[in-house]
A and B are shown apart, each in its own frame.
Chain A
Amino acid sequence: MKLLVKGGTVIDPVAGKTMEKDILIVDGKITKTGVHLSAGGAEMLDASGKMVAPGLIDMHVHLREPGFEAKETIFSGTCSAARGGFTSVACMPNTSPVADNAAIISYIKNTAREKGAVNVYPIGAITRESKGDELAEMGDMKEAGAVAFSDDGMPVMNAGLMRRAMQYSRMLGLAIISHSEDKNISAGGAMHEGYMSTVLGLKGIPSSAEEVMVARDILLAEETGCRLHIAHVSTAGSVRLVREAKARGVKVTAEVTPHHFSLTDQTVAGYDTATKVNPPLRAAADVDAVKEGLADGTIDVIATDHAPHTVEEKDVEYDLAPFGMVGLETAVGLVWTELVAPGVLTPLQAVMKLTINPSMVLGISKGTLDAGSDADITIIDPAASWTVDPAQFAGKGRNTPFTGRLLTGMPYMTIVGGRVVMREGIV
């Protein structure tokens, strides 16, 4: 089985280079990259006019299986990933039961191997049932294939417990991913606290709810030496805290979601529950700050926090709706439209934040085009304009506030292990 990706502009985040090259794939591995490679019997994939990148990695998705299969399954979620140009996803443990033990981690890995369209890397829970009371069996989970630990969605409120989790995780060599939210500050909030929450009469989630915990976890990481990754950074203050911590040499990395660099709390006017997300859509100054953080390298990773819900769950009063929006299938379009086109990031920087950077946080051997590596490749058409239509999504969730938005930049082809899993939007 041989494939030749020909004529594209190859973006190599490891070499830090962008050049016209061909890539030869044999039996699921990249065997050779170079100019004008001859086909030699390989199937030709014409990538002229397109950008060829290592397969994109989304290190923050909710696949919902086991337990919430009405929202998403490992199959539908990975199809969604493939359609969005992602070849690997890391899935959060807030399933039912919670992925807080080796059995669930194995279940997810096995199901993904059987049914998944892309590679799936489970993230284990920090505490049992993510209740924040006692540590989960992190060592067992690592052995079963967990790539990091997080109580995403259920912040670890007990600082002492978080400290021990970091000590323990450091021993295992895995990162702690912090969902930074002080529940005492955010309690009952539905959107960003500010002028808009006042006008709409919705309870606000102040920026400090996030920043207090970012600061706490940075201090704990500094003390314990654990690698800390801050999930979905949304405020200017968090960006500043991470920037300062990095300057001090703390082993901290950070991610931002496409919605947090594309939308402000203005979007909530009209009470569209698709805009209800945690952390909430923030003010314009915060959006500017996360873009600055992306540009100066403070924020290492772009991850979607893909959080599918059923139509019925979202079709309720704003206060009653669950947090979260889907993101896998709009991510590339938003990165190119909001970041690359206006010059916030170069295509190479954008690709780094979607490939090699998340792979380093998770410690997985992905995100590279080096000979011998797995043939995970994403081909992007940077010029293609398209309108977001949730009816076209491969995932189950339709909860996106981007419906009808015109985007430029579209995943053209997704190749996982040398197999084309998506071509021009068809999975």
Chain B
Amino acid sequence: MGLSEKDLVGLQHVPAEEINQILDIATPMKEIIKRQIRKVPTLRGRTVVTVFYEASTRTRVSFELAAKYLSADTTGITAATSSMSKGESIRDTARTIAAMGADIVVLRHPMAGAAELLAHTIKASVINAGDGAHEHPSQALLDMFTVKEKKGRLKGLRIAIIGDILHSRVARSDIWGFHRMGAEVRLAGPATLLPPGVEKMGARVYTNLEEALEGADVINILRIQLERQNRGLFPGLREYSRLFGINKERLKLAAPDALVMHPGPMNRGVEIAPEVADGIQSIINEQVTNGVAVRMALLYLLTRGGSKHEITC
């Protein structure tokens, strides 16, 4: 048991059996969350440090709860983006983390490759909690866990991911993960927000939303950010909503028991209609609970046995 790598930087190279293992262990972890006493002593004496260069309360709290339920000590660094513009790089932060004696570092960073850079710099295990447009593996794992819990399988399912694929680390991790587990991944979004060559990652690409939704078992709706409009990547939110927003009528194109997911935070009325977000097919709230369970599984698996990792930096 256990993962073959020290770190979880992305799902690109994680084999199917390891993904299965994480999902399998998340089930008993979820059982712990449902208890009255939500705590097991597993990671007593271990330290989990969350380092967030981007504000993301949801992901940070999810990791912190996961660590606390496993009895790890947690501490967090919220690095202001301004210190980076002053020329402070991730290497400087690495020195601080080393001084804290971390066993696991959870990193959120606005730039692709930051997690890999940190992983090479410190001895502690690094979990990438999102690096630029690169990957966000724990989000994809919780997506897979949630779908598997509902559908009993991943193999053969049709997963439609809708929206800004170009800037989405969630989309990339989802594509690698679902594709590796034997699902059919479809992508749809404005042509200017579809990255080149993405089909080679194992996905079918559509610019017509209706075609992508046809018979889908899962619809994962990505957040559209207004700043992309300001940079001229699409004409406007109104038109985006008209062309790619998921409403009740469009949901009917998918399989009758299709699940609706969203990694949050949602723009209700833009990429997702309120009646879809709150509808019976929506499993958005369960994603949040499952996120903690999956992250508990990750923390458990990445806290390798043997002596505490010695930190040198």
Contact = CB atoms under 8 A, between A and B. Distances in A.
On whether A and B touch (CB less than 8 Å), the answer reads: yes
A271 B114 CA distance: 9
A199 interface: yes
A114 interface: no
Interface string B129-157: 00111110000000000000000000000
Contacts of A270: 116
Interface string B85-114: 000011100000000000000000101111
A202 B195 contact: no
B289 interface: no
B223 interface: no
B164 to A, nearest CB: 13
B295 interface: no
Interface in A178-207: 193-204
Interface string A196-220: 1111111110000000000000000
Question: Which one of B12, B116, B169, B172 has the greatest number of beta carbons of chain A within 10 Å?
Answer: B116
A130 to B, nearest CB: 23
B112 A315 contact: no
Given A270-B116, A317-B111, A318-B113, A195 B91 contact: no
A317 B197 contact: no
Nearest to B195: A198
Question: Which one of B111, B113, B135, B196 has the greatest number of beta carbons of chain A within 10 Å?
Answer: B113
A317 B89 contact: yes
A384 interface: no
Contacts of B77: none
B198 interface: yes
B196 A317 contact: no
B132 A199 contact: no
Nearest to A198: B195
Nearest to A191: B112
A201 B169 contact: yes
B117 interface: yes
Which of the four size classes fits the interface of chain B? 20 to 34
A196 B131 CA distance: 16
Which of the four size classes fits the interface of chain A? 20 to 34
Contacts of B113: 200-202, 271, 317-319
Contacts of B196: 193-195, 197-198, 204
Given A194-B196, A317-B109, A320-B111, A202 B132 contact: yes
B90 A201 contact: no
Contacts of B313: none
Interface in A266-285: 270-271
Contact of A195 (B84, B111, B197): B197
B201 interface: yes
B34 interface: no
B166 to A, nearest CB: 8
Interface string B217-233: 00000000000000000
Given A318-B111, A319-B111, A319-B112, A201 B197 contact: no
13 contacts: A195-B196, A195-B198, A199-B197, A199-B201, A201-B112, A201-B133, A204-B195, A204-B196, A271-B116, A317-B114, A317-B117, A319-B111, A319-B113
Q: Give the 6 A-B CB pairs with smallest separation, nearest first.
A: A195-B197, A201-B134, A271-B113, A201-B133, A201-B112, A198-B195
